[in-house]
Amino acid sequence: MFTYDSVSQAINGLKQRDFTVDFNLEENCLVCGHAKFDVNDFEIVEFHRFEGDSNPSDQAVVYGIQSLNGMKGVMVTGYGISAEGVSAEMAKKLSMHKN
């Protein structure tokens, strides 16, 4: 298990381990370039949760994600106050890894 002290360290660590693409979250899918992955098209391999010491808006989760077609990448998203609007199905998949 890898542990990191900051979001940037987690991103760099994942990228060094071949999680090289950047995934972005949309309402009901992940997007990487022109490719879209619905909730059943990827797995969360690992995640790292960070809480800001003095500012609740600094809360973030860094995900290491692998698509079913083998694409490996990173997604950073906020939670709590800064969480993005997503579908219920996507929120459920991501929340299983936030505890």
Pick 31 or 54 by higher pLDDT.
31
pTM over 0.85: no
- In tens, the pLDDT along 63-84 reads 999 999 999 999 998 765 445 5
Pick 82 or 16 by higher pLDDT.
16
The angle at the Cα of 74, spanning 41 to 12, to the nearest 5 degrees, equals 155
